[in-house]
Amino acid sequence: MSKQLKEKIAFWIFRLLSLGVILILFWILEFIFVRGWHMLNWKFLTTMPEDGMTKGGIYPAIVGTLYLVAGSMLFAFPLGVMAGIYIHEYTVDSWFKRFVKLMTANLAGIPSIVFGLFGMALFVNTLKFGDSILAGSLTLGLLALPVVIRVTEEALIAIDDSFRLGSLALGATKLQTTRRVILPIAMPNIITGLILSIGRVSGETAPILFTVAAYFLPKLPHSIFDQVMALPYHLYVISTSGTKVAESRDMAYGTALVLVLFVLILNLLANALRRFLSKKVKMN
């Protein structure tokens, strides 16, 4: 076989495999869209569930997920970015730095149900937050933390040292250099990572299971110490352990579609924001 022919065959194999990946994604989307699309209307998005969750809407679950996402990011974003800055800009290569990095990687590998149990033990019971938005947000934040740290670190690694040296040579301190030169360059990548971890957090079920999620709660929360419904848990409930699983099938597909659209929109937003920010960095 000539090497030109081999080249062609290899090329086509790679191409078909890549297409396969896309195909699977579209298959999943198609599956959910076809079954959930007719559910999607204003009433579904803005009313409470009714009749054993076989009718009505999913409004409280949407609101709950939004609260949990916002709460977890309020906690994980500043902490993770600061930890990433510390690891990359302040520590020299030492056993301590390697240890911190290894532990961060390990944290990312812990199964989400373990985060859920830990969150219940620490936030719900020990700190007495109870089943609450606060406990759930902190638990989800812990889950997102290693991702935010990792993304921040990667964004900082990608920045050429000549920017740092140039700033330090002008008498700037490390903090000034990081804040005025390095962070603005790194921000587009950090924000992208942030939004991707929001996608991850909004779909997690296990960490909220014992810390915040309500089975059925047709009202909105009044404080961060209230329980809420959440999209992934609601989906789990009405498709497996509801009172009338078969009758709430449509509701389940509708919920799944809303969740998928939510993540999809976030990803698109991440892209747009990254482009906008990289442009702004150059112009400003």
Partner 1 sequence: MTMNPKIESKNVNLYYGAFHALKGITMSVQPNTVTALIGPSGCGKSTYLRLFNRMNDLIPGIRIEGDVQIDGKDIYSKSLRVDELRKKVGMVFQKPNPFPKSIFENVAYGLRVNGLNHASFVEERVETSLRQAALWEEVKDKLKKSAFELSGGQQQRLCIARALAIEPSVLLMDEPASALDPISTSKIEELIYELKSKYTIIIVTHNMQQAGRVSDKTAFFYLGELIEFDDTQVIFTNPQNPRTQSYVTGRFG
Q: What is the binding site for partner 1 (CB under 8 A)? A: 92-93, 160, 162-163, 165-173, 176, 180-181, 184-185, 281-284
d(CA 197, CA 145): 9
Q: Closest CB to partner 1 among 22 and 169?
A: 169
Residue 180 CB, shortest distance to partner 1, in Å, is 7
Q: Closest CB to partner 1 among 113 and 168?
A: 168
Q: Closest CB to partner 1 among 54 and 178?
A: 178
Residue 155 CB, shortest distance to partner 1, in Å, is 14
Residue 159 CB, shortest distance to partner 1, in Å, is 10
- φ/ψ of 53, rounded to 5, equals 60, 30
Residue 60 CB, shortest distance to partner 1, in Å, is 44
Q: What is the 3-state secondary structure (H, E, C) of the chain?
A: CCHHHHHHHHHHHHHHHHHHHHHHHHHHHHHHHHHHHHHCCHHHHHCCEECCCCEECCHHHHHHHHHHHHHHHHHHHHHHHHHHHHHHHHCCCCHHHHHHHHHHHHHHHCCHHHHHHHHHHHHHHHCCCCCCHHHHHHHHHHHHHHHHHHHHHHHHHCCCHHHHHHHHCCCCCHHHHHHHHHHHHHHHHHHHHHHHHHHHHHHCCHHHHCCCECCCCCCCCCCCCCCECCHHHHHHHHHHHCCCCCCCHHHHHHHHHHHHHHHHHHHHHHHHHHHHHHHHHHHC
Residue 251 CB, shortest distance to partner 1, in Å, is 49
Residue 271 CB, shortest distance to partner 1, in Å, is 20
Residue 177 CB, shortest distance to partner 1, in Å, is 8
d(CA 182, CA 176): 9
Q: Closest CB to partner 1 among 185 and 256?
A: 185
Q: Closest CB to partner 1 among 128 and 180?
A: 180
Residue 140 CB, shortest distance to partner 1, in Å, is 34
Candidates 187, 190, 196, 204; CA nearest to 269 is 196
Q: Residue 256 class from Cβ within 10 Å (0-12 exposed, 13-18 middle, 19+ buried)?
A: buried
Q: Closest CB to partner 1 among 240 and 284?
A: 284
Q: Closest CB to partner 1 among 55 and 174?
A: 174
